[in-house]
């Protein structure tokens, strides 16, 4: 009976030792589990905040893209305005050139009219002098047939008349024609032998003057035609530039209209974003204050829990010390009991 009691006591002690060993080794305390749960909750909260920040970042990126598009539209409008200004400057230069060419054309027309008037006057004078010359020639021929004595007197008169006519011609801005008249005299003497013995007539000089005036008139008309061609070219270019300016002006008006619409939309978007940001800031400020309060309360709780954990750790250390002491005592008792059992078995044997 005593032996069975000792065996039962040994079993009970070994069972209690194993239970204590399982309880104090490899087991998580309640405080550590609570701290882990709080850490998990805080991680989930930070995850939701990160998702909200990502959403706001995406919306701000979209807004920045819209603003970049608006800025690019404004830059294209400025380029169109610069192009329009350049075209306006070119139109102004062409208009000034057109005015200058018109002035030159007006002056050329005046010179042309003056030359035509002079030409008509010269033709009238030439016709009058030709009639006088023919009359005198007829008189001279009639007198030469009757009497040869009157010829020197008529020659002297004709020479005097030719001298006066030549002086009048030289006084009328045609001094350069005196050189060409000598050549014309030789040709006339070769072609008309009847008038060989007579001096050069004034209507020949007038005809030469008329030829020169006709040449000048032809040159003036050629210059005037060239100027009119240039004027027509300038007018066509100016019309094309005006059409281009009109098209660019229409495009610019459309761009400005679109820009105003986009600016209006942008202002509305800014106002809506500002309102949303204000509301969000207010909400976030209230949430931040609430979170700060909760964080402060949680910090206090954590501090309290740490204090309790410290106390429990101290108690656990004491319990472990006591447990180790009791285990040592129990082992000592077990060894003693084992010795006594061995002795009794030996004595029984």
Domain ranges of the chain: 2-82+255-348, 91-245
> What does R_g of the chain's alpha carbons equal in angstroms?
66
Give the mean model confidence (pLDDT) for residues 249-253. 77
Number of H helices, E strands in the chain: 5, 0
pLDDT of 100-126, one tens digit each? 777 777 777 777 677 777 777 777 777
Burial of 206 (0-12, 13-18, 19+ CB in 10 A): buried
C-alpha to C-alpha distances, 163 to 140, 157, 159, nearest whole angstrom: 18, 10, 6
Could you say which DSSP state residue 196 is in? T
Give the mean model confidence (pLDDT) for residues 133-155. 60
- pLDDT number for residue 205: 61
pLDDT at 33 over 80: no
pLDDT of 277-321, one tens digit each? 677 667 766 766 776 777 777 777 777 777 877 777 777 777 677
Identify the CA nearest to 121 among candidates 209, 195, 226. 209
User: Lowest-pLDDT range, 61-65, 206-210, 260-264?
Assistant: 206-210
pLDDT of 320-338, one tens digit each? 777 777 777 877 877 787 7
Do 105 and 226 form a contact (C-beta atoms < 8 A)?
Answer: no
Identify the CA nearest to 129 among candidates 79, 77, 164, 89. 164
Query: Distance (Å, rounded) from C-alpha 154 to C-alpha 147?
Result: 12
Orientation angle between helical segments 202-348 and 30-146, nearest 10 degrees: 170
- pLDDT number for residue 331: 77
Query: Distance (Å, rounded) from C-alpha 263 to C-alpha 77?
Result: 14
pTM of the model: 0.32
pLDDT at 153 over 80: no
pLDDT of 44-80, one tens digit each? 787 777 778 778 878 877 877 887 777 777 677 777 7
- pLDDT number for residue 280: 67
**Long-range contacts formed by 100-105: CB under 8 A, 24+ apart:** 101/227, 101/230, 101/231, 101/234, 102/231, 104/227, 105/224, 105/227, 105/228, 105/231
What value does the mean pLDDT of the chain take?
Answer: 68
- pLDDT number for residue 21: 60
């Amino acid at each position: 009976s005593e032996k069975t009691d000792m065996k039962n006591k040994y079993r009970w002690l070994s069972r209690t030792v194993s239970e204590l060993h399982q309880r104090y080794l490899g087991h998580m305390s309640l405080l550590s589990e609570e701290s882990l749960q709080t850490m998990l909750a805080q991680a989930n909260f930070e995850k939701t905040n990160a998702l909200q920040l990502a959403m706001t970042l995406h919306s701000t990126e979209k807004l920045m893209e819209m603003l970049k598009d608006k800025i690019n539209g404004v830059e294209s409008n400025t380029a169109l305005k610069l192009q329009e200004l350049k075209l306006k400057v070119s139109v102004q230069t062409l208009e000034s050139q057109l005015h200058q060419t018109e002035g030159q054309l007006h002056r050329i027309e005046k010179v042309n009219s003056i030359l035509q008037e002079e030409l008509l006057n010269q033709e009238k004078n030439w016709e009058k002098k030709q009639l006088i010359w023919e009359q005198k020639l007829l008189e001279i021929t009639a007198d030469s047939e009757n009497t040869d004595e009157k010829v020197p007197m008529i020659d002297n008169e004709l020479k005097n008349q030719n001298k006066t006519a030549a002086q009048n011609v030289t006084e009328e801005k045609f001094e350069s024609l005196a050189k060409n008249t000598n050549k014309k005299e030789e040709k006339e003497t070769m072609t008309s032998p009847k008038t060989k013995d007579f001096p050069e007539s004034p209507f020949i000089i007038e005809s030469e003057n008329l030829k020169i005036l006709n040449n000048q008139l032809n040159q003036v008309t050629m210059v005037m035609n060239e100027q009119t061609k240039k004027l027509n070219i300038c007018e066509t270019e100016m019309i094309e530039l005006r059409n281009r300016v009109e098209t660019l002006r229409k495009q610019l008006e459309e761009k400005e209209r679109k820009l105003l619409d986009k600016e209006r939309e942008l202002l509305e978007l800014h106002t809506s974003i500002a309102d949303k940001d204000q509301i969000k800031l207010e909400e976030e400020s209230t949430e931040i204050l609430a979170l700060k309060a909760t964080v402060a309360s949680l910090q206090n709780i954590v501090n309290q829990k740490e204090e309790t954990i410290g106390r429990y750790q101290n108690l656990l250390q004491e319990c472990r010390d006591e447990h180790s002491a009791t285990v040592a005592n129990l082992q000592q008792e077990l060894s003693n009991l084992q010795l006594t059992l061995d002795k009794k078995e030996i004595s029984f044997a």
